[in-house]
Amino acid sequence: MSLLEVKDLNVYYGVIQALKGISFEVDQGDVIALIGANGAGKTTTLHTVSGLLKPKTGSIVFDGKDVTHLPGHKLVSMGMAHVPEGRRVFAQLSVLQNLKMGAYTRSDKSEIDATLEQIYQRFPRLKERKNQLAGTLSGGEQQMLAMGRALMSHPKLILLDEPSMGLSPIYVNEIFSIIDSIHKDGVTVLLVEQNAKKALSIANKAYVLETGNITLRGNAHELMNDERIKKAYLSE
């Protein structure tokens, strides 16, 4: 069943067209990877899907409802969470305060506390540092916090924008195994990632973006073995 349907999306920054009529679907239970070079339109796609940017034309249907013109905060309460590029944690707040900010659309305190315990089980380091200011965490820990904060809203769909950017190889592996476990727990994932090899290794479907167009789409494993993809994105 399709959880997200994006149809013929055209997005502009002033006179510059960033997305040129792109269409794609995310089925319930999918891990979808969007890969492409810098400036291809990957982040713009996520920002438009999550309501941070408005398309000039096209439509976005999430969980059976047209959400093309809904503001981002309404989408959070409908079950969509966005982990932005650069993590964007609240540096002056503690780890615990950051996590609680992620639950602002929920009102049942006992449910929020239960979710918090689940987050601490998934990210033991966040529990150890729950009273520490978020700005003092390492890059990898901040990425975990940003992901934990998004999961506090109990999303059906999580959008991840460059989760491995700027992280050491050990943290990259850890973040990808966490994404895999989030998916196994039933959350659908739409992943934008420069590390195409890692992204394709955990995705089941993938789309390749080039200058605002989707140029290739298909099974992630097959794309990983596609000579064009190998040459453009997988060469060491």
Number of C-beta neighbours around residue 86 at 10 A = 13
* In contact, 217 and 210? CB cutoff 8 Å: no
Q: Is 187 part of any domain?
A: yes
- pLDDT for 235: 64
Distance CA 53, CA 188 (A): 22
Q: Is 200 part of any domain?
A: yes
Distance CA 33, CA 160 (A): 10
Q: Is 163 part of any domain?
A: yes
Phi and psi at 198, nearest 5°, equal -65, -45
Structural tokens at position 115: 């979710």
Q: Is 108 part of any domain?
A: no
Tell me the pLDDT tens digit for each residue of 116-159. Answer: 998 998 899 899 999 999 989 988 889 899 999 999 988 999 99
Domain of residue 162 covers: 2-87+155-234
- Here the CATH number for the domain that contains residue 176 is 3.40.50.300
- SS3 category, 139: helix
Q: Is 121 part of any domain?
A: no
Name the helix (H) or strand (E) containing 202: helix 196-202
Task: Give the predicted TM-score (pTM) of the model.
Answer: 0.90
Q: Is 101 part of any domain?
A: no
Residue with tokens 């659309």: 105
Structural tokens at position 81: 């969470």
List strands edge to edge, sheet with 157-161: 80-83, 157-161, 188-192, 31-35, 205-210, 213-219
Tell me the pLDDT tens digit for each residue of 16-65. Answer: 999 999 999 999 999 999 999 888 999 999 999 999 999 999 999 999 99
What letter represents residue 28's amino acid?
A: Q
- pLDDT for 236: 53
Q: Is 159 part of any domain?
A: yes
Count of domains observed in the chain: 1
Tell me the pLDDT tens digit for each residue of 210-230. Answer: 999 999 999 999 998 888 888
Q: Is 126 part of any domain?
A: no
Distance CA 127, CA 73 (A): 27
